[in-house]
Amino acid sequence: MKLPRDLSADELIRALRQLGYQPTRQKGSHIRLTTTENGEHHVTIPHHQSLRIGTLASILDDVADHFQLTRDDLLQQLFDLS
């Protein structure tokens, strides 16, 4: 499944809230999100208007690994892509 293009950090943060992620701190232009579902897990997202595809793929792979999902299943759950 293709990754969404031109996804902003704010849109990704909003989507990750579905999985229990909440912003816990910000340093410069990077926001750290934390969830306690399935154990504690942290991801850091650069607060940019449009995330690079490689950065987005890395973040989604990390989150999918934590929740023991494939990236495609995670994308389906977060963005309801068909």
pTM metric for this prediction = 0.90
Of the pLDDT bands very low, low, confident and very high (cuts 50, 70, 90), residue 80 is confident
Domains of the chain: 9-79 (3.30.920.30)
5-58 per-position pLDDT tens digit: 889 999 999 999 999 999 999 999 999 999 999 999 999 999 999 999 999 999
Query: DSSP secondary-structure letter at 28?
Result: T
Q: Could you give the CA distance from residue 71 to residue 25 in angstroms, rounded to a whole number?
A: 26
